[in-house]
Amino acid sequence: MLRHFDRDIEHLKELLLRMGAMVEEQIHESIRALLERDSDGAQKVIDADSEIDRMELEIDQHTISLIAMMQPAAVDLRFVAAAMKITPELERIADLAVDVCERAIELNAEPPLKPLVDIPRLARMAQDMVRQSLDAFVRRDTALARAVIARDDEVDLLTEQSFRELLTYMLEDSRNISRAIRLTFVGKYFERMADGATNICEMVVYLAEGKVIKHSGGVHDTD
């Protein structure tokens, strides 16, 4: 017998996935707009952000209402708690995509500084991690979640590398500074997207195993 409560949980999951799909789309479009220097595309991403904000509010209402009305317990409670924490992460990731697009529009006003190598790699890594974190959530796949968390170190290294390269451009010629700084910001934004993805994965482990692994160094938690 399907509890009518289970339908509500399914609905919540659907809403979360829909929001996740939209956020992934935003990331994808922001990368494209950056690399192809498409200011119109960038503007579209900025405009679409309000829809994501709306979804965050809708899911918030839904989760609180679920707690008040259904008194979920055990795995159901952890699911609702996880949903409440994942939603703002997704919204922040979407805001970061907007930030990338704002910098892209500014960069398009000047000629390109250099062929972009590290930043696209960084961007794809962040995009992959966000997508994988949502997959892990849907499938409650803790192995995948832990793998994503492990990649964060790689992302940090790449960001550092990109920054050092841009630093040399800044030191070379003071006319490069504004573009280099904007590109540094862009790198930072993607790095923070990756952080968001790891937060989501920590939530997935909590949901599936009831284990809280955040603030503990992630992969190195003891059993």
Question: Using CB under 8 A as the criterion, which residues of the chain lie in contact with other proteins when the complex forms?
Answer: 1, 3-5, 64-65, 68-71
Question: Measured from the CB atom, is 61 or 216 closer to other proteins?
Answer: 61
CA atoms within 13 A on the CB side of 102: 11
Which lies closer to other proteins via its Cβ, residue 22 or residue 81? Answer: 81
The residue (of 15 and 67) whose beta carbon lies closer to other proteins is: 67
Residue 117 per-residue DSSP state: S
Residue closer to other proteins by CB (options 73, 109) is 73
3/18 with CB nearer other proteins: 3
From the CB of 61, what's the least distance to other proteins, in Å?
Answer: 9
Residue partners of 214: CB distance under 8 A and separation at least 6: 199, 202
Helix orientation angle between 39-70 and 74-108, rounded to the nearest 10 degrees:
160
Structure tokens at 127: 């995009």
Which candidate, 130, 183, 178, 174, places its Cα nearest to that of 155? 130
Per-residue b or e along 159-172, where b marks 16 or more CB atoms closer than 10 Å to that residue's CB: beebbebbeeebee
Nearest approach in angstroms of CB 69 to other proteins is 5
Q: Minimum distance between the CB of residue 6 and other proteins, rounded to whole angstroms?
A: 11
Helix, strand, or coil (residue 115):
coil
Q: What is the smallest separation between the CB atom of 65 and other proteins, expressed in angstroms?
A: 6
Min. distance of Cβ 70 from other proteins in angstroms? 6
- Residue 106, both tokens: 């500014």
